[in-house]
A and B are shown apart, each in its own frame.
Chain A
Amino acid sequence: MITLSASSVFAYLLFPGGLFAILFGLILLSVERIAVARFQGRVGPPIYQNIFDILKLRIKEVLIPEDVTNRFMFAIAPVFGFVGMMTAIFILPVSGVYGGTGANSDLIVLVYLMALPAVSHILGGSASGSTFAAISVSREVILMFAYEISFIIVLFTVALEAGAGEGVVFSLKGIVDYQVIHGSFISNFKMIPAFLAFVIFMLATLEVPPFHIAENDGDVMKGYLMEYSGMPLAFFEITHALKLIVLLTVLQVFFMPGIAGYNVFFNLLWFIGKSAVVVIGIALIHASMPSFRVDQAFKFLMTVPILLSLMSLGMVLFL
């Protein structure tokens, strides 16, 4: 009944999930830091910096605050996000390279899996027993509430467009196949507002300035990560890297799954290239914008991305 063949385990653990995704994500995070530094006129860290960060965290001792209300929850919280992201990468198709998992590659499953890192931040922060963590958790929930609406609308827009008038395509592979035949959505004028809304959603969920609110050094002092040290903190960092890869892959599945021929290796390089370009774009926004205050961010996220995605939805339904 369980079809966990050797190839799926390979796909889950090594490529394109698991080890490949973690390493690629960490390298992309470093690329982002280097890009920000160069935009600011500095040199920036070496390209393997985030990998070294994880290796360093391995050797630190683990501190457990005595006020923690529930040690079990505190220890287990990082795992939720990690598990969710590993599963998400496993089910996401990379066009020309990996086909996803067939029937289970489903949009609804993806939505709930993508909410899991936020859940793990929230559980970890709440269980820390620290006031700063609690404040940061409340900010995170408020923002999540605001950006999930636009994500949901963009999702349905993409599903409707891929169904081309005869219903809705929930399968991720189906969306990719449709675009390979009919042209990427990014070249479709109806989907441009949805693309912009999705980029704003990406920035908000990655907590990149201007949305560096729930976990920043300034006022909440690292927020929900504050009480974590050593290996649990490493899990959070790995989850962050995986989240970046998941978001980039989803961006490409939704809007630009173009392939460069039928050679797997070239498609992989093309995927890496597109991701790197998007990351540098994120770095440009990061370097040039200050961060919002939480109520400003809430008002912004409740108005601008929602309007953009509704515009796209309207165009898809009625044009």
Chain B
Amino acid sequence: MLSKYAIKSPWLYRINTGSCNGCDVELATTALIPRYDVERLGCKYTGSPKHADIVLVTGPITVRAEDYLIRMLDEIPEPRVIVAIGICPISGGIFRDSYSIRGPLDKYVEVDVNVSGCPIRPQSILDGVAQAIAIWKDKINQFHEA
């Protein structure tokens, strides 16, 4: 019962682990441009990871960003959903053989939704967020039974 209303207000948090900013531009687009407004689903971008529900990770995990990513992921409260935005966190994308890439995101955390694209389209982002919300509902129920 709790989860029925809770899923109507997912808060999004963006982590950029060294991406080319292409996907980040599209993320900004999704929130601000009228056609793709994500606020319809009740979402909101928040400034602090401790307020986050759905985490949108862009970028291949570069060497410098690795430590920071691990520490930040620790600061996100359960129940949460991790979404990999763009092809870079899924497989490294066009940077995958580089010396400074530490590997796909699921080496560090269990990824719930993979949304690929390079750069990703706003419609895909919305689709990914909608799927994440559905997964989130199950996670909430699991978190409260445990």
Contacts and interface: CB of A to CB of B under 8 A. Distances in A.
Direct A–B contact in the complex, CB atoms closer than 8 angstroms: yes
Interface residues of B, number: 29
Contacts of A37: 37, 39
Contacts of B51: 222, 225, 229, 233
Interface string A209-232: 000000011100110011111100
Nearest to A51: B5
A43 B6 contact: no
B22 to A, nearest CB: 21
B48 A61 contact: no
Contacts of A222: 46-48, 51
A101 B119 CA distance: 61
Interface stretch (B75-83, B91-99, B105-113, B124-132): B75-83
A229 B53 CA distance: 11
Interface of A (DSSP majority class): loop
A60 interface: yes
A59 B47 contact: no
Contacts of A228: 50
Interface in B53-99: 53, 75, 77-79
B50 A46 contact: no
Contact of B77 (A52, A55, A62): A62
Nearest to A218: B47
A49 interface: yes
A58 B42 contact: no
Interface in B8-60: 8-11, 32, 34, 37, 39-40, 42, 45-48, 50-51, 53
Given A37-B37, A52-B42, A229-B50, A60 B8 contact: no
Contact of B8 (A44, A56, A216, A226): A56
Contact of A221 (B39, B48, B75): B48
A55 B5 contact: yes
Contacts of B144: 59
Given A33-B39, A37-B37, A221-B47, A63 B9 contact: no
B3 interface: yes
A49 B42 contact: yes
Nearest to B80: A60
Interface in A220-261: 221-222, 225-230, 233
A58 B2 contact: yes
Contacts of A216: 47
Contacts, number: 89
B129 to A, nearest CB: 14
Interface size class of A (residues with CB under 8 A): 20 to 34
A60 B48 contact: no
B79 A60 contact: yes
B79 A59 contact: yes
Contact of B47 (A44, A56, A217, A233): A217
B9 A52 contact: yes
A49 B42 CA distance: 6
Contact of A56 (B39, B46, B53): B53
Contact of A42 (B7, B37, B53, B79): B37
Contacts of A40: 32, 34
A63 B78 CA distance: 9
A59 B2 contact: yes
Contacts of B53: 56, 60
A212 to B, nearest CB: 12
A230 B2 contact: no
A295 interface: no
Given A56-B6, A221-B48, 4 more contacts: A40-B34, A42-B37, A46-B42, A226-B50
- Identify the 7 closest CB pairs spanning chains A and B, nearest first: A217-B47, A52-B9, A229-B50, A222-B47, A42-B37, A41-B34, A52-B8
13 contacts: A43-B39, A43-B40, A52-B6, A55-B6, A56-B9, A59-B2, A59-B79, A60-B79, A216-B47, A217-B46, A221-B48, A225-B48, A229-B51
